Amino acid sequence: MSPAKTSNGATRGFIVPIGGAEEKEENPIILQRFVEICGGPEARIVVIPTASRLNQTGSHYVEVFDELGAQIVFHMEVRSRADCEKKRVLDRVSEATGVFITGGNQLRLSTIMGGTSLAKLLRTRNANGMHIGGTSAGAAIMPEHMIAGGESGPTPWKGQAVLSPGLGLTNAVMIDQHFRERDRLGRLLSALAFNPFAVGLGIDENTAAFIGPDGILEVVGTGAITVVDPAKLKYSSIGEARRGETVSLIDVRLHILTHGSRYDTHTREPLVEFENAKLETV
């Protein structure tokens, strides 16, 4: 599933994958930045809590975004594929400057939203300027290829990562969340072994990648983003390996990026202006 094409004169919106467990009260720099790019006091944000089974998830984010100064915040109860076709849901998204997809189970997201009018509208609206943020499961589903599950561990092995189609907001990256906290380097490497055209982003908790229309990624938060670039991969044994067998990957490039760091997803090069960046309190 590829990103939608922009209309004439339009500028693509940001996509903002968050590694999960983002701060919401003491120093919510990630959510504050999301409100700002969505228009600040003129922001109109729709929260989609489909991934979560907790009834209070959507309303909690509504309270947070209200406190951060957004003009209008709605949460849409999208619990079935039929909900994804409802006019009131599609109308809210059509009028929004930003959509935020909460955490939970990313397979709930893909099985409920995949191929629906809502999924198509999210791609089209993002291509024409609406910003889309997502945390945990909401981050994982953003790319064309989604890491739907798998096993932890630092070393890749065949079968470690379970893949499924994502929303297709980008085909430049693959995303894994709760990265350092849940020891997911191995499964990201395993996923990239099948898809060496994409850059892997392993996003720690309370950390986000603000990816702009120019493909420049900026890190915001207290953790790090592990960038795994297989563009010059010379050899992968995943094609010959048996299930459960450790996989060889030769010539994989890796970067660790912290708050203020920037990375060009088109050229696959880190940018150097961030060397003395410090985490600011909002």
Q: What is the pLDDT of residues 192-220, one digit of tens each?
A: 998 799 999 999 999 999 999 999 999 99
Catalytic residue IDs: 136, 178, 205
The domain defined by 15-271 folds into Rossmann fold (3.40.50)
Q: For the chain, which residues make up each domain, given as ranges?
A: 15-271
What pLDDT does 272 receive? 74
What lies within 8 Å, CB to CB, of 174 at 6+ separation is 143, 145, 146, 147, 188, 191, 192, 195, 198, 199, 200, 201
Beta bridge partners, 170, equal 143
What pLDDT does 282 receive? 42
What pLDDT does 194 receive? 86
Beta bridge partners, 76, equal none
Please state the pTM of the whole predicted model: 0.95
DSSP 96: -
User: Which segments of the chain have a pLDDT < 70?
Assistant: 1, 273-282
What pLDDT does 8 receive? 84
Q: Which H or E run contains 274? A: none
Instruction: Taking the CA atoms of 31, 33, 37 and 39 in sequence, report the sign of the dihedral they define.
Output: positive
With CA atoms as reference, report the closest residue to 130 among 169, 158, 181: 169
Query: Token pair of 147, please?
Result: 């890491």
What pLDDT does 72 receive? 98
Q: Which H or E run contains 64? A: helix 57-67
Burial 212-237 (b: 16+ CB within 10 A, else e): bbebebbbbbbbbbbbbbbeebeebe
What pLDDT does 1 receive? 67
